[in-house]
Structures are given as C-alpha cells and as structure tokens.
Homo-oligomer: A and B are copies of this chain.
Amino acid sequence: MKISLAQLDYHIGNFLENTTNIVLEIKKAQQYNVDLVIFSELSVCGYPPLDLLERKEFVQRCEDEIEKIARICKNIGVIIGGPSLNPDPKGKMLFNTAYFLTGGKVQQKFYKSLLPTYDIFDEYRHFEPNTNFSLLEFKGKKMAVTICEDLWDDQPVENEFARRRLYKLSPMKELAALGPDFVINIAASPFSHTKTEIKKQIFIDKARTYNLPVIYVNQVGAQTQLIFEGGSMAINNRGEIVEHLSYFKPDERTIELENLYRNDKPPVFEQPTSMKMVHDALITGIRGYFNKMGFTKAVVGLSGGIDSAVTLVLAARALGNDNVYAMLMPSEYSSGHSITDSELLTKNLAVSYDQIKIHDIFDAYRSALKPLFKDLPEDIAEENIQSRIRGTLLMAFSNKFGHILLNTSNKSEAAVGYGTLYGDMSGGLSVLGDVYKTEVYDLARFINTKTEVIPENIITKPPSAELKHEQKDTDSLPEYDVLDEILNDYIEKNMPADEIAAAGFDSELVRKIIKMVNTNEYKRYQTPPILRISSKAFGTGRRIPLVAKY
C-alpha cells in the first residue's frame, strides 16, 4: 500500500487556496498510483478556526469543500480534516472530524475523542468528544484513525502541579482492541522549542506499546501567534522513525506501508539544534503573518540594542532585505554608538533606513504640558513620552507607506513590564515577545555563526533603554541570567515563590520579580500578538485575571 503524507500550510478561511492546494496534492498522488493520501487536522479550513466555527456559513463551506474534494477522489483514498455537525441534538454542535473520501464521496467519518482545552487550545469550546470507536478498512488494511490529542492521553508535564493524564479515556487502547494494522494521526500540533523531543516520544511510545506503525501528519506554517513546525513522521512498529518530513516548510512523502514493518534500521534523522529551530520558527512566523495578511513590507525602529537588531535580521530573512526598512530615532539621551552600531547593522543587511531626531517633538510636548506639570521633576512620564513619540513616528510611517511595524520587545521585558504601552510596545506583530533576553543573545550569536551580521558591540554592551542619562537595565532589574531563570520558574513551571527561592535565589528578589509580573498583566493585555516558541507564551495561552490580588 502506497501512502502519501501531505504536510501543507493552510490559510484559515481561505477555502479557495486551501482546496486548490489539497486538490493538487491528490492529483499528483493519483499520477503516482498512491493508494491513500493523508492531510492534517481541520485542513479544509486551517487550524485553529476558533469562533469561526460558530458561523453557519463557515461550517457549511467546510462541508461543501469536502464534498468538492471528494468528487475527484476516484481510485484513491483520502483522509482530510474538517468540522462536521453533531447529529445528536444534545451536546456541542460539532465534531472535530477525520473524513475518509473515496469512490467520489465521503465514505466514513472519525471523530476526535480527546479535546485539548488548556494553554492555547480551546477545543471543547466547539466540539463534542467522541466515545465510539471503529476502524477504517481500505484495500485490505485496517487502520486506527486518530486526531492529534487522541494519542496524548498520557503526556509529560513541565510542572509538578499539572496532569499527565488529562482524560479518563485512552482512544488508542479502545482502537487497539479492534485489531488495526497501523495507526494514522492527523494533527495540528504547534511548535514549542522545549517539546520537540516529547512530541516524537509520544508517537514512538504508542508504536512500541501497541507494536503498530504510526503515521503522523502535522500542518506547517504560522497562524498569527502559533507556529506549526510540520515534521510529520512515519514510524515503524518498533518505534523507529522511518520517514521525517521537513521542518517549517510544506513537504510531502510517499511511503510503502510494507517498509514500516521491515527489520532493517532506518537512517537516523539529524535533529536541528534548539536555537536553529527557534530561528526558523520566528522566520516562519513573520513570513506567515505577512503572506496571509497580504503585506510585503515591514518597518523596525532600531535603538542600537540587541532586541531591535535581532528583529531586523529575522525580518530581513523572512521578507527579503528590500522589503524591510529601519528607522533610527535618537533623543538627547541616545549614545553615539546607538547610531553607529545601527548604521553598521543596516549596512550588513543591505536594509534602507532613515534617521529622525525626536528632540523637537519632545520639546513641543514638554512646552504643551508645562502649564500642568509646572516644575515637577522629570520622571517616568517624560521617559514614556519619548517612547511614545517613537511609536507615533513609526506608525505614521506605517500609515503613510504601508509598512507593518514589527514590535521588538522581548519576553523578559514583557514579563516585568519594562516597556511603554503605545510606545515601544506598539506593532502589528511581536517577534521576540516569547524569547527571554538571554535567549535573544543566544539567537544573536547563532545569527553571527558564520559572519558578523550583528555588530559585536550590540551584543557586548550593557543593555539600556536610553530614556534618561546614564540609564542601564540593571538600575531597576537584576542581571538577565538571574531574572530569566526566575521568570521561567514562575511562568513556564508555575512554581510558587518559596520553591523558586529554595532553588537558590534571594527570597526578596524572587518576590519583587513575581510582583512585577503580576502587576503588569494590564500591559500585556494590550500588546500585539506574540510569536509563540515556548510552552507558555504571553497571549491567548496564558489567561490571568487582570484585576486580581495574588
């Protein structure tokens, strides 16, 4: 049996494009006499469609497109994901469904049982969980058709106060009892740089436990914050990866099912480093946002610091240097090197830039506010005005010429509220908002592996917001290596303050940092969407009451 794994990038709600790409894959497979083509979860509409699933015309369109695709499925079997109406009048309106198409029509539907409803996932919001199990029989083979989380009934967790087993049911246990020949898993499993190995292990464990091959087809590409790495796999019944599709780009692979039972050792897939994965993920995230929104050009405000430098490099790599524009906006507090370092960076990247001094605008604000502020000393109000002038200039450029402003804040800053709302926190997309400051440095060094793209001085000088004289980040924050570890313990691992301190940090410092994280929830509420690369990004996957005392 010849099986094709079709790892595509979908545009949510863009049925014309999605169906065209799906049909092209099927036609190609037909030319090569493939028996079965497998697409990913909710592929007909793209994942995650969220509340578009509450619109009648959207769900109807999904079903229409599947009917349309089914009509070309002569002499071939196709497994494709889409929503379908729950025939029971009780329970949620929809099932998350794997459709089996052949003979020109929909032959069978398999419903998802385990509905992830945590972190960035909201599936129980729209779907009813399945509790009835059956196999797909096709061309003499029996297949267990599962959808993503269905195989994640037992998953490792990063923090102790979380569940390995979130569900009472194990779909694979139910399906195994029916005697399948192999397992299919259609998925929409987003990237997290700490979860690549865990993800592989899930499939390997299932293959070994049930002594069955597993074919896993993931989607690829970015959907606003979420980045899907692809990396679809075919695993043999001994739990060895026989085929591994590309990361971060559409790919397809045709396999002989028989090869998933052979005894010879498959070649080892060389896993890229974590930093290479993050680098490629962020580029995929930028590119996906721009392509799917119909944008081509980006603008970045260059401060001379490392965050804007790394953002500019990633933007240039994602969109092409001709499509990226940099703006330098020095004030009376800017150091000389913030200009020269930035200019050198734009030269290295062959990116255009302009310089606008903000002194006169800042003076105009100070004059206008003089009758109110009188002789009060300058403070955070004046610091923020400078940041907001820069935000306004960047947005004016964006409005005039159509460049999308990329936000340059990092995760450490976002965590402790070290940023100005409507100032440096502005932008259409936050590139580094899920990357801790120490990881931004790692990324800069990774970028500089072969040649010095980012001037060394940008990497080595002490970080400063340059909003007043002689300002350094360490005036109000601890060193970033300390800060980031505490933040990671608190945000990713959900550790209580006393446990973080017990791991070797000053207890008062830990409490101070946690308080900063908690009291800045209001700022993060208004930030742009953040490209997610960790297991717990700020944004839709982290829902903390804004008004709360804790």
Contact = CB atoms under 8 A, between A and B. Distances in A.
Interface of A: 11-14, 46, 48-52, 54-59, 88-93, 117-118, 122, 124-125, 160-163, 165-168, 222-224, 288-289, 292-293, 354, 356-358, 360-361, 363-365, 367-369, 371-373, 376, 379-382, 384-385, 388-389, 391-393, 395-397, 399-400, 421-422, 426, 428, 494, 496-497, 522, 525-529, 540, 542-550
Contacts of A373: 400
Nearest to A48: B545
A494 B52 contact: no
Given A546-B224, A547-B293, A388 B380 contact: no
Nearest to A544: B51
Contacts of A428: 522
B540 A529 contact: no
A360 B360 CA distance: 10
Contacts of A361: 361, 364-365, 368
Given A118-B125, A385-B396, A527 B526 contact: yes
Nearest to A85: B161
Contacts of A124: 117, 124
B385 A392 contact: yes
24 contacts: A12-B548, A12-B550, A51-B544, A52-B550, A54-B161, A92-B163, A117-B117, A117-B125, A122-B543, A223-B545, A224-B546, A293-B547, A354-B371, A356-B368, A360-B364, A360-B368, A361-B365, A365-B393, A369-B396, A384-B399, A385-B396, A391-B422, A422-B422, A540-B543
A50 B392 contact: no
Nearest to A121: B125
Nearest to A14: B549
Given A55-B161, A163-B93, A372 B356 contact: yes
Given A57-B497, A292-B547, 15 more contacts: A11-B547, A51-B543, A51-B544, A56-B494, A57-B496, A92-B166, A125-B543, A288-B547, A354-B371, A357-B368, A360-B367, A368-B393, A379-B399, A392-B392, A525-B529
A481 to B, nearest CB: 25
A382 B13 CA distance: 34
Contacts of A224: 545-547
Given A57-B496, A526-B527, A384 B396 contact: yes
4 smallest A-B Cβ distances: which pairs? A13-B550, A381-B399, A56-B161, A12-B548
Contacts of A357: 368
Copies per assembly: 2
Contacts of A163: 89, 91-93
Given A364-B364, A525-B528, A547-B292, A400 B381 contact: yes
B162 A54 contact: yes
A232 to B, nearest CB: 22
A425 to B, nearest CB: 9
Nearest to A17: B549
Contacts of A546: 224, 529
A91 B164 CA distance: 9
A542 B496 contact: no
A58 B439 CA distance: 30
Nearest to A363: B364
B365 A89 contact: no
B93 A161 contact: yes
Contacts of A58: 550
Nearest to A118: B125
A88 to B, nearest CB: 8
Contact of A545 (B52, B118, B379): B52
